[in-house]
Structure 1
């Protein structure tokens, strides 16, 4: 089984290389938060408490992004190998052995990426620490970040858990799917959520409502000393809402994608017909493409929505308010934004082989080069637009919840939705995703159709 595991990794490295890269970025994002926590424990005193407080914010933002993006990429990597697993079973490998080998691949590659991320954390942690406390007094600028056993454990365990979160269900599905069905269908069936996923989604929604209600109740009776602590927790709304949306992805993504794409008739153009059909059919690939953009834009727009709403309320009450500094945004959202960008690129790279065969089939069926190129770009834009709609929902909900949570402290609070920062990120994501799709499509047009169709 070990020889099969290693041999498959060597033979199909394109489908798995993306998991190592995204695991390394997730390891870096988690590692920075873990380093802040370990540094705070090592330094102690008020300075250690301040550093530890920042670590909790970093871990929440980075943890949510790592869970969403890494699990989605892992799930896609396993799903892309379904035909190979089917050939294993036809050669005598049992379904149980198939699942064990697939999970072994996930463990080996996620831990490899975690080790790379830990090394990057050791190089960057001190710089990020100085950036987080730039201009602050108390000796923060001379503090050297500690990257020790606690950080290493957090990175290894965190990356492994989020990879298994996506890899375990996909591996079980790949092992249970009949071999002939896997060879016949390029997309796994069963996008609907299972009962336990429904239960988890319901618990998370109920938990989110309970947390907000408990926060508001505490705010009504809060002492002046507790006021600043409670208000400083409002930026956590956006990542919590994001993880709720991601948890309900199977029941939210597909209906939303089908609903808004149905507004444009399929007869609008042949390229739009192909793009819409492929986006709807390849839900696994669509989910993996949507999730990174959703997490990045939702948390960026949500964070600015919270601070803008909070700032307007504070100024109306005559209190001084200092907005977000660039360094603070980089520290809190550097990991999530890096995961969003790398995740989107990784999905395109990992799906390259499947897309090459689809493109060759279209060419063999008589589709022109212009139609193939426009269909590929439109499919990427469908993913971006779906992520944008979900992000707007998170941002609007964040603004409304922030208003409700700040009302006990400020007499005049109105939501201020910051869609500009999220919109800028979406435009950048659309350009990068479009380029990542367009370049390989154009290069494959020069290749022989027979060669592309005969490739395994």
Structure 2
């Protein structure tokens, strides 16, 4: 029988665990709170547009609803992917603490309750902070992004208490719900984790995940088929949704895709190339749960702008081939409105997962130094690990963009356009990939330098 199953810890101890662990592992929880705040800022844009459409009503309100729908769907996809990755990593990275709790008499049910309470508190604090930050900014921002949309420039925009409260509730609920599976796993943590490696276990493709994959694949098939029957002047709407949903499908299939793909392409560079590359490759391949938490948001970050530019470029080329005149490119405000917020959230989420894993990385670096590795090897290994994550996500995201562009090239012909080569979206993919790599390095290198200032014995003795 596992420790802690026969007795229940007193409530006072549980309250101390909730607060004490938040303070003891502040890096992990601050990272989760920052991501929740970023999700609230992004959600405030959708909330502002939705509340404005409802209050305005009439023709202008109806004209705003299609824009609101696209923004809500794109924001929802990015929010679900990023928050679920962060919530899962937040819980699973603290397995040693959960094992200790059970050894001191905390029952599995109480472990689960404490974990969910911690997620709830951090998500609520982050969401409230994000909404407070967004209040003075969201209306001017929405007015700017709508300034180039015909008929929407004069729509009165509002972001009232109801919309703000809804954003806080949604973000908090998504974070807490995303952590329920990990909380159940935490309640079953064995004390054996205290004497062996505590790398979070990779997510398995259980029945719920398979059901989600089948459902999402069905929605994608219906969406693609409907795009082929949509008039050319309206085909952009279903095609714009194809890329985000396809990226969500890839992330949902992450346990089947991320680790095998990472191991496959990193074998191209021999392990003997350098000690730092060997360490980075081994760390990325071994820490599959941490790698998946970073790769998922980055895939979305690369796929969203890339697929948007690929779809619009393909449709413009089809219209130009049919009419002999290439339509003007959408203004930058349109791209910012549709993918700016989700892109920001995805990149911040990816960087946050790297930052949150810093404690495990410090221990690994200390082990390398204890075995005779120099500071340069440790630092360069951290850089290579960021490069591995960025390349893995960029390749998968570029694959999503390529498939989306192919779907767009197929759909424009039955929709009434002329045949056209699919646009690549390579520029958007490249810019996003570089930005993601820079943020990963910004989250990794400073923390590695700080860790190198501590002796290996001290780093290994602190849990």
Give the TM-score category using the shorter length: over 0.9
Give aligned pairs, total. Answer: 448
| 2:432 paired with 1:412 | no
1:80 CA drift (Å): 1.5
After the TM superposition, which of the residue ranges 141-150 and 356-365 deviates more from structure 2? 141-150
Q: Which runs of 5+ in 1 are unaligned?
A: none
Unaligned 5+ runs, structure 2: 1-13
> 1:177 — aligned with what?
189
> 2: CA distance between counterparts of 1:68 and 1:246?
7
1:136 CA displacement: 4.3
Query: How far did 1:160 drift?
Result: 2.8
Q: Which residue of 1 aligns with 2:107?
A: 94
CA spacing shift, 1:139–1:358, aligned 2, 3 Å: closer
CA deviation string 1:391-439 (max 9, x = no partner): 1110001101111221111122321111111112211222332233222
What residue number does 2:294 align with?
289
Equivalent pair of 1:238/1:302 in contact (CA under 8 Å): yes
- My pick for the range that moved more, 4-13 or 309-318, is 4-13
Which of the numbers 386, 390, 394 marks the counterpart of 1:388? Answer: 394
Shift of 1:150: 4.2
Aligned residue among 259, 264, 287 for 2:264: 259
The alignment status of 1:427 with 2:440, answered yes or no, reads no
Corresponding residue of 1:188: 200
Distance in 2 between residues matched to 1:233 and 1:247, nearest whole Å = 21
Residue 54 of structure 1: how far off its partner (Å): 1.4
Match of 1:140, SS state, is coil
Partner of residue 52, structure 1:
65
Match of 1:4 in 2: 17
TM-score, length of structure 1 as denominator length? 0.93
How far apart are 1:190 and its partner, in Å?
A: 4.7
Deviation, structure 1 residue 282: 0.8
Matches within 5 A, 1:138-287: 138=151, 140-141=153-154, 143-153=156-166, 155-181=167-193, 183-216=195-228, 218-219=229-230, 228-287=233-292
Report what 1:452 is aligned to. Answer: 459
Which of 303, 327, 339 aligns to 2:345? It is 339
- What does the per-residue CA deviation read over 1:347-382, in whole Å, with 9 as the maximum and x for residues that have no partner? 232112211111111100111222212211111111
TM-score, with structure 2 as normaliser: 0.92
Aligned CA distance change for structure 1 residues 178 and 451 (closer, same or farther; 3 Å): same
Note if contact 2:235-2:412 (Cα within 8 Å) is conserved in structure 1: no
Indicate the RMSD between aligned Cα atoms, in angstroms.
Answer: 1.9
Equivalent runs, 1:305-320 vs 2, <5 Å? 305-318=310-323
Structure 1's consecutive aligned runs of 4 or more residues displaced over 6 angstroms after TM superposition are none
* Contact 1:87–1:179 (Cα < 8 Å) also in 2: yes
Query: Contact 2:201 / 2:289 at 8 angstroms: preserved in 1?
Result: no
Matches of 1:146 and 1:51, distance apart in 2? 15
Instruction: Tell me whether 1:107 sits opposite 2:117 in the alignment.
Output: no
